[in-house]
Amino acid sequence: MRIEELLALYASHAAVDSQEMLARALSLPADIRDGSERYSTLVDELPLPRDPESVIVAGMGGSFIGGLFLQDALYEESSKMIIPLRETGLPGSVNERHLLVAVSYSGNTEETLRVVLEARRRRIPTVAVTSGGLLAKLATEWKIPLVEVPSGLKPRAAFPYMCTALAAVVEAAGLVDGLMLKLKEAAGFLENVKQEVLDAGNSLARWLFEQYEAGNFPVVYSYRPFLSAGYRLKTQINENAKLHAFFSEIPEANHNEIMGWEGPFRFSAVIVRAPGEPPYVYHRMEFLRELLRGRGVKHVEVHAIGENQLQKLLSLFYAFDIASILLALLRGTDPAPTATIDSLKKYLEERIDISREI
């Protein structure tokens, strides 16, 4: 299905998409290219400690996913660990030999700001990635290296920019070489396979819609180095389609969760696969597929495409972002608002004002 045909198919739902989230998702290749060009000079300009023991990427929600993505993308390549952190504090083992990257799209994420405050007390080298807010203010006042991303987006829609900004930081810190160039090349690859990705996203959206209509909630199964893609699908369904979805890791699920299929269930399954799976992965995924088939569980496989890890990961992110927004439109749901999250933030702001602690 051509892009024009896809948009025409969903034209009757377009009025629901108040902030053009579908168009934003479709622009992922262009945004990855823009981000890789925008931040490539930072590799030589950022005043960062070279060769830290590890890079801690602190963030929440849509600001967290870039760290998880890079952990997957560089899992077998980076000389040092990339550790995504979704907490209100730092582990005791983190010290001045590590590098903290604080990521908050709004700049006002309480949990991330608390981590930054603790890092300052413990003299841990820090770099900030944000579009503004308190984090940008602190970075300016405390002379913390600051990487600014474009404002006016939903945090989850800013993934291409936060991802490329983080990549520049990681390369500047000496963990890997040539990453920005590889991201730019991956953007070109995505442009070339856009039609295939769109078809996969559309098919997945319609399958998910059928499952939800039947009362089946999806469990997304994935494995390293594609955990971030499976987790992305789960969270994008949550935020864009306003529906429950669940995520599980292989091989860990082999040791506990698969027993749940012996009992009653109202679930379906999405299995994330990739070409060239090593035997110890392939046979586990095949067993899972046969288990689901034998139990009568509706399931679908989604396969990554690409010649390298970055391309494969981004092909999944691209398809999953599109699928989650199309699922929202099929339900007549505006993918942009996150009213319940906004209510939580307001509730906490009335009781816990982080700005008073700074």
- Domain range 3-15+193-330, CATH architecture: 3-Layer(aba) Sandwich (3.40)
pLDDT at res. 227: 99
* Residues 90-108: tens digit of each pLDDT: 999 999 999 999 999 999 9
* Residues 178-211: tens digit of each pLDDT: 999 999 999 999 999 999 999 999 999 999 999 9
Is the model's pLDDT at 58 over the cut of 90?
yes
CA max distance for the chain? 61
pLDDT at res. 12: 65
pLDDT at res. 322: 98
- At 279, list the tokens: 């035997």
Is the model's pLDDT at 59 over the cut of 70?
yes
Which amino acid is residue 301, in one-letter code? Answer: E
pLDDT at res. 11: 67
E strand or H helix at 217, and its extent? strand 217-223
Hey, do 3-15+193-330 and 19-186 end up sharing a CATH topology, with the first three levels equal? yes
Residue with tokens 């995520």: 247
Measured CA to CA, the distance from residue 297 to residue 268 in angstroms comes to 6
pLDDT at res. 356: 87
Better-scored residue on pLDDT, 179 or 7: 179
Q: What average pLDDT does the structure give for the chain?
A: 96
Is the model's pLDDT at 8 over the cut of 80?
no
Cα pseudo-dihedral 231, 95, 53, 280, rounded to 10: -40
Measured CA to CA, the distance from residue 344 to residue 299 in angstroms comes to 34
Q: How confident is the model at residue 1 (pLDDT cuts 50, 70, 90)?
A: low
Average pLDDT over residues 170-177: 95
Average pLDDT over residues 9-26: 84
Alpha helices in the chain (DSSP H): 3-9, 21-26, 28-39, 42-45, 65-73, 110-121, 133-142, 159-172, 179-192, 194-213, 227-236, 279-294, 309-330, 339-351
On whether the 19-186 domain is CATH 3.40.50.10490, my answer is yes
For the beta carbon of residue 346, count every other beta carbon within 10 angstroms.
10
Give me the sign of the Cα torsion angle 202, 206, 212, 218.
negative
Measured CA to CA, the distance from residue 132 to residue 155 in angstroms comes to 12
Is the model's pLDDT at 137 over the cut of 80?
yes
Domain boundaries, the chain: 3-15+193-330, 19-186
Is the model's pLDDT at 10 over the cut of 80?
no
